[in-house]
Structure 1
């Protein structure tokens, strides 16, 4: 927008009022739990690692204040992998505002924060110093804060654009500086250095350029409304007088000298300057086209982009509506749904690695984090984007030879392979079963089958078991998922051979203990991984000695009757961590391997036990305020768990199945892929959560009976494709367990 004497008032959409983007931005700060939750031990970092910056649903661009802290660039914490995070800054501060942040991740070694924009009233030599950050405000699609220099800063984003608005105090020499060399974090081994760059001034208030960072050509087209201000290039903190273009090749850590653009001139008190940036991974012309499509070149854009993004958020968040709940519970739920829809980034026609169009998905950080909870949520309420994600991953497999476990804005589908094997197969199997989208399933099957032979898959084929032993479970289940698609496509021979190898999951377990074999385990132990929801849970329970023995193992794992435990503190010692792991205890919602374990009780005929565990987690492990998450949000994987748990439904990834438990809300309405699903209750009793101020565990409710569209459900499960069509699920709740769900178990392959 043109320079004005007063910043515009930010726009709020009524349906977004419950979302608090600051939840998860600081170390965990929850009341001491009671009951079951007091016995759970959390090994991983006690911080959400989220940021409050401006985002668009599953969009390409985000923008936030930049301090260089771990892992998003926002905040005050250093790198940590366990316990309470250590503060590296004494205050909340920022050296400017960057783009492309991670959300809730941990140690992924790619932290973006490209193109830092800094409003200043100091000389260019002061670029890079940080100023105190105050008066923060955030809601979906909008972030604002004040620097202690007196500058008010506002940011909004579209799908492929960012718009900044800076309101200055009176100054003879105000400026907006664009630093094209910023990237990564201000901690050891986390900085990004561009390899090549080109930037040029193309007209008054206009510039464009490309910076190649970690093998990715990030292009931008920029407009700054600053009539009467000068615009110049700068290099090594010195103005390039009269120059309109910089070309820098073969940049190295040792030769890097900061460079970028500066717009400078006098400012009156209350004067605002708008900066509009279009981004693309396919060149400057496409960056310009992206800016023009979302902003209209040369015209004020902040409020229009803000309104459009708010409406997109209102549409996405409005696809699940709940009734009842305390204000704190509603805030946590709405924010969890918001966090679930920030990542992955899905950018249409933006792949820098293949020449044809179509979706390009990145920031899948990682499948290990999201395949059990977040991908089923996208399949339900954003099915078009879920299909686009799978189409992009098939393209990645074509180009690089692997389905990725994690995929970032760079080549490298083989990264993160230690976490898991062949996890994409679960989402592909579910999407096929749901019948959504128009993927070429014959072509997808080719890649699914080929991918089973890569990495640990070769040993699995030869030996029927691999170490780390958890990959045996991954590969066996992926064979099962692929076999289902092969049979549906009438490839009976392939389906038969895949199904036979899917039975090798039994090789992962000890016959005497009913637990996994000793092995190395990624962020966990054998107990954490021993209760996964496999495709033949009846046989798995048989390995443990039957229902009673399996239930006793789960009860021990969840700490029934155990004493409260102490959580790791700041910089916990190896001895403290070893003692915690030796508990063989549920790690709460602080770690991915445990996410689906509460529902293992369903196959043993004890859905009441599931109700108790889920109730305790929803009560004590999530809250309002910046410290309201028990651990890393992991790109929305944790928040998606909270959404499903609150709704009374849990998706079993890859099995076309939902499990039923008591919901936290009296009624909910969800826009599923093929129809509207209403979950309603009778006998529901509102219960508070920890943020409401609790002195003891509130009472648990249990499902007494259930009907779907008026027809009784004999068991605590429904095929996913049935619920996706919509309908009315009625749950009658009560204060005591009944026999419902004890005799009719969810399906198992050997049934």
Structure 2
């Protein structure tokens, strides 16, 4: 829950970004890789070596005024540790436990005579969403308080509490400050919102000033809690009783090693840059969702509580599949948490952060996560309640489907699609995205059907299987597409449709990088697809690729069209809907083309440069895509299917933390120059394996998948019987 880092001006969605110049504070809670506006960054602390002329009012207090340039070559970052030097002579280092952060400030370039450090805490957050707050300081120098904030991508508000203690220096004096004025006489400051005139844009807080330090170092311990100030203090005292910075760094690093060491790679010949792409991707995929168990004031429960599902629309296509492989126990706890949210909130979330309901971007995609976990035998989940939750998504429209469930269910059930002019008296939500919502609802229903079948609900299985074909109701067979006035020679695209059954029109390339790329977001003018074009969404039928391929003209024309999507500039891999299209050549019997595409995007889009994550990381989604692609087994979300391509390493092994089994993928004739990237033949445990996909039992039971590589495409994985599962036959 604690994630300490420097907060920068400018790009600061997760606190720190490399392409910035100044730091305004160091805060303890963050959501990483969210995109859009920043999230959290509550109660930043900031250290100054002294106040000019020893005048407390000559220190810099206000958030923008106290910004200090950071030293470019000073940055040190690794799992469990972050360090940075500022041009005011302060070097700040930080580490965390689960509920507390520990900061070490070292002061240089300041004479001993003038060194009298001031450390402030600010009742602020990164998006400046504070509604009201209170901070106090006691004679020992303990700073504590709380404030109410708004979530960055949702509705409602949340209250957070903090508790700061210091070690390594004697307190000289304490006080409060508002904007750029400070005083020693007051020990409590309160900021209150009046109506809509919320004073979120100015800073206020408390501070402690210290006598000169013997070793020029002071340590600050910060506990955080969503429950109370008392619990924030208890969290810090329990987790870090000794202010042991080196010990906390070591413990944090050990925790990360325990998570990451389930994977072993033979990286002979592989560049260090590609290794960094792989391991940093795994690291980033494990930052969220965040374990807030014991920190949920909304309801009492013995179940785990996870937050920062930010958002499932992003994470359901890769993050949770990677966690299922690397950390199935945590994935179990996350699924249990989703089910418990349903018990107490009435619906599964599609997005959730800071104890608040987040905005739904497409379908009810927690349904996909439930099915994915169920099919892969994730343990300790109440599957009956989970099934009840996903069926409710499909059958009962909520009052506000902007933040949960699905809208337009009257049309969905009656017409089999979401009309662009939908009449929906049953709930309130944003009446856009009719195309993307239709294809996602269809896939959500397919996932429900999978669970229904295995739980023995056969009538439900039949109903939701039928609904899973509803994507075809928006497929306009004669729709053409042109780029710059030149016909692409591909016919048949998803198009808007009205309630009376007639067709609307949205240019198939609209909301692609070639045309109005940023016109399809979550706003009233967001159009009929979300963060992507009809070109892209026309490929989204992973439940029935056999039918999709037929409707797009057969395997050869499908392959040509999919290649055009990648080659023409229509596709941006920085949006998660692009992920599966990299591997959908498998369904047309061309797995070699999927392998070629992964080696194009890695490293052209995924690399170690400052721009080496396309778009934003979306809570680790981009990191998960890189890891899964380089691992060579890309999961089809919501199905027990992994599409096989050669790993980027000579050998990679994944140990299952539940069963202890080790799954190994080994390349024979491995070429670190990546010219021989085409599978010629494969064996599983020394027996021929001709399917171009494999199931999750490979990870739970272990074994060896050995791939013989060559320079040219072979016949491996191309037969109809070797293609991935589909609702209809190829």
The TM-score normalised by the length of structure 1 is 0.80
Does the CA-based 8 Å contact 2:148-2:160 persist in structure 1? yes
Structure 1 residue 665, shift from structure 2 partner: 0.5
CA offsets, 1:557-584, max 9 Å, x none?
222xxxxxxxxxxxxxxxxxxxxxxx56
| Shift in alpha-carbon separation, 1:585–1:658, aligned structure 2, 3 A | same
Q: What is the distance in 2 between the residues matched to 1:475 and 1:410?
A: 26
Match of 1:167 in 2: 106
Which residue of 335, 338, 349 corresponds with 1:404?
349
The alignment of Structure 1 onto Structure 2 pairs a total of residues equal to: 634
Match of 1:136 in 2: 75
Q: After alignment, is 166-175 or 656-665 more displaced?
A: 166-175
Residue 206, structure 1, aligned to residue 142, structure 2: yes
CA offsets, 1:534-570, max 9 Å, x none?
11111111111211221121122222xxxxxxxxxxx
Residue 726, structure 1, aligned to residue 702, structure 2: yes
Match of 2:482 in 1: none
Structure 1 residue 626, shift from structure 2 partner: 2.4
Match of 2:500 in 1: none
What SS is found at the alignment partner of 2:70? strand
Q: What is the distance in 1 between the residues matched to 2:670 and 2:115?
A: 63
Q: What is the distance in 1 between the residues matched to 2:442 and 2:176?
A: 57
| Shift in alpha-carbon separation, 1:62–1:708, aligned structure 2, 3 A | same
Q: What is the distance in 1 between the residues matched to 2:9 and 2:600?
A: 36
Does the CA-based 8 Å contact 2:191-2:199 persist in structure 1? no
Match of 1:303 in 2: 246
Residue 703, structure 1, aligned to residue 679, structure 2: yes
Does the CA-based 8 Å contact 1:154-1:165 persist in structure 2? yes
What SS is found at the alignment partner of 2:352? coil
Does the CA-based 8 Å contact 2:142-2:165 persist in structure 1? yes
CA offsets, 1:300-339, max 9 Å, x none?
2222211111001111121212112122211221111111
Residue 494, structure 1, aligned to residue 478, structure 2: no
Match of 1:178 in 2: 120
Q: What is the distance in 2 between the residues matched to 1:233 and 1:266?
A: 15
CA offsets, 1:189-224, max 9 Å, x none?
x422232x3333456243432222222121122211
Match of 2:510 in 1: none
Structure 1 residue 75, shift from structure 2 partner: 5.3
| Shift in alpha-carbon separation, 1:110–1:408, aligned structure 2, 3 A | farther
Q: For structure 2, which runs of at least 5 residues remain unmatched after alignment?
A: 151-156, 398-405, 421-433, 479-490, 497-505, 507-527
Aligned Cα root-mean-square deviation (Å): 2.2
Q: What is the distance in 1 between the residues matched to 2:75 and 2:603?
A: 28
Which residue of 717, 723, 729 corresponds with 1:745?
723
Match of 1:193 in 2: 130
| Shift in alpha-carbon separation, 1:210–1:70, aligned structure 2, 3 A | same
Residue 716, structure 1, aligned to residue 692, structure 2: yes
Structure 1 residue 622, shift from structure 2 partner: 2.0
Match of 2:22 in 1: 93
Does the CA-based 8 Å contact 2:676-2:709 persist in structure 1? no
Residue 654, structure 1, aligned to residue 638, structure 2: yes
Does the CA-based 8 Å contact 2:670-2:676 persist in structure 1? no
Structure 1 residue 115, shift from structure 2 partner: 0.9
Structure 1 residue 249, shift from structure 2 partner: 4.5
What SS is found at the alignment partner of 1:350? coil
Structure 1 residue 178, shift from structure 2 partner: 3.0
Q: After alignment, is 223-232 or 652-661 more displaced?
A: 223-232
Structure 1 residue 231, shift from structure 2 partner: 4.5
| Shift in alpha-carbon separation, 1:203–1:433, aligned structure 2, 3 A | farther
Which residue of 542, 549, 567 corresponds with 1:541?
549
What SS is found at the alignment partner of 2:476? coil
Does the CA-based 8 Å contact 1:233-1:261 persist in structure 2? yes
Q: What is the distance in 2 between the residues matched to 1:140 and 1:437?
A: 29
Match of 1:114 in 2: 42
Structure 1 residue 666, shift from structure 2 partner: 0.6
Q: What is the distance in 2 between the residues matched to 1:705 and 1:682?
A: 10
What SS is found at the alignment partner of 1:118? strand
Match of 1:326 in 2: 271
Q: What is the distance in 2 between the residues matched to 1:97 and 1:396?
A: 31
What SS is found at the alignment partner of 1:487? helix
CA offsets, 1:33-92, max 9 Å, x none?
xxxxxxxxxxxxxxxxxxxxxxxxxxx111211223234264579xxxxxxxxx8xxx62
Match of 1:31 in 2: none
Pairs within 5 Å for 1:429-468? 429-453=371-395, 454=397, 455-458=406-409, 459-466=411-418, 467=420, 468=434
Q: What is the distance in 2 between the residues matched to 1:450 and 1:329?
A: 44
| Shift in alpha-carbon separation, 1:249–1:95, aligned structure 2, 3 A | closer
Structure 1 residue 484, shift from structure 2 partner: 1.8
Does the CA-based 8 Å contact 1:173-1:264 persist in structure 2? no
Q: What is the distance in 2 between the residues matched to 1:260 and 1:726?
A: 55
Pairs within 5 Å for 1:239-638? 239-250=182-193, 253=197, 255=199, 258-268=203-213, 270-296=215-241, 299-324=242-267, 325-413=270-358, 415=359, 417=360, 419-453=361-395, 454=397, 455-458=406-409, 459-466=411-418, 467=420, 468-512=434-478, 513-518=491-496, 519=506, 520-559=528-567, 583=568, 585-587=570-572, 589-638=573-622
What SS is found at the alignment partner of 1:724? helix
Which residue of 99, 102, 114 corresponds with 2:31?
102
What SS is found at the alignment partner of 1:592? coil
Match of 2:403 in 1: none
Does the CA-based 8 Å contact 2:134-2:146 persist in structure 1? yes
What SS is found at the alignment partner of 2:372? helix
Structure showing greater relative contact order (alpha-carbon pairs closer than 8 Å, 6 or more residues apart): 1
Q: For structure 1, which runs of at least 5 residues remain unmatched after alignment?
A: 1-59, 78-86, 185-189, 560-582, 688-697
What SS is found at the alignment partner of 2:353? coil
Q: What is the distance in 2 between the residues matched to 1:265 and 1:441?
A: 56
Q: What is the distance in 1 between the residues matched to 2:652 and 2:76?
A: 29
Residue 145, structure 1, aligned to residue 74, structure 2: no
What SS is found at the alignment partner of 2:314? helix
